[in-house]
Amino acid sequence: MKKIELHLHLEGAAPPDFIRALAAEKRVDLPTIFDARGQYAYADFNDFLRVYEAATSILQGPRDYARLLAEVLERSAETGVIHTELFVSPEFCGGGDLAAWRDYLAAMTEVADQMRKQGIDSRGIVTCIRHFGADRARRSAVCAAETAGGWITGFGMGGAETTGRATDFAWSFDCAREAGLGLTCHAGEWGGPDSIRQALSLGVSRIGHGVRAIEDEALVRDLAERGTVLEVCPGSNIALGLWNSWDAHPIARLADAGVKVTVSTDDPPFFHTDMGKEYDRLADAFGWGEKDFLQINQWAAEAAFCDPETRDRLRKEFA
């Protein structure tokens, strides 16, 4: 069935064969980051970060990012995705420099426009990196604000949830809000329920992950009452050990409690998943059928960071 994905890291979606080919073109020797089958290999979360950083270090320059975006969108479309929203940071696209960021953005926007004609729409969510600190986050926020509109429709924060407090980044979120950007923030994955409350204080309409809200009944009720949408990535959570099985994952309990949940893949090749596999495993674990997935996509359509015309089109797709 057709699908909407709201939580996809562009660099984290780089297929292993794409990274190997790019490294070969650049004549760069990669460290040991692949298994015997050629897939990304890591032992634990810290090792995952090492592998992630080594793989994405190959991406240098606007042309690399344009090629990556085309590859990622093509693979998403193969799994039925018709609208996806990707996290991309000026930190990695020009080192936070606005002029350099514009060059990267121009290359990615050209690809996004071409892929839209092929049936998959996309939007970019500029992200600041939490563990880089609030001062550097301001540079990313300025890049977002100065290029808001067109492909860039959102602003968020990724990185280590346990570093500092989300409220330290209030200036950046205020800047993005004033530019008319939708707001989201990673929270409630490695950080507990309090990390979600901090993110909510920034005025976000969506939370990246947010699944550890299940540990706090009052917070679950608050999320349901606010209508806050969770960008849930079950396969990612299970691969990284937050839960040890699909039927133990809290997505169904959150939905049953009235929280608006959506489904995404986070960094799909690192977790050996795609949107089709996510839907299949959720169906197996919870008995979800067409009606349940239709509701998830309806919530995603309403929460998408897009223009009214695109939202109307998405509503019709999932009416």
Residue numbers annotated as active site: 189
- Partners of 179 in the β-ladder: none
Q: Is residue 82 classed as helix, strand or coil in its secondary structure?
A: strand
- Amino acid of residue 243: W
Q: Which residue has the tokens 């600190």?
A: 133
Per-residue tokens: 126? 């500029």
Are the beta carbons of 58 and 254 closer than 8 angstroms? Answer: no
Angle at the Cα of 258 (from 256 to 260), degrees rounded to 5? 105
Strands 182-187 and 121-129: unpaired
- Partners of 155 in the β-ladder: 126, 183
Are the beta carbons of 167 and 200 closer than 8 angstroms? Answer: no
Query: Rounded to 5 degrees, what are φ and ψ at 66?
Result: -65, -45
The residues, any chain, with a CB within 8 Å of residue 128's CB and separated by 6 or more, are 89, 91, 136, 137, 140, 141, 155, 156, 157, 158, 159, 169, 172
- Amino acid of residue 68: L
Alpha-carbon distance 293 to 262, whole Å? 9
- Partners of 204 in the β-ladder: none
Angle at which helices 170-178 and 134-146 pack, to 10 degrees? 0
Sheet holding 206-209, edge to edge: 3-9, 81-88, 121-129, 152-158, 182-187, 206-209, 229-232, 260-263
Angle at which helices 290-303 and 308-317 pack, to 10 degrees? 180
Helix ranges, 27-80 (H): 45-56, 62-78
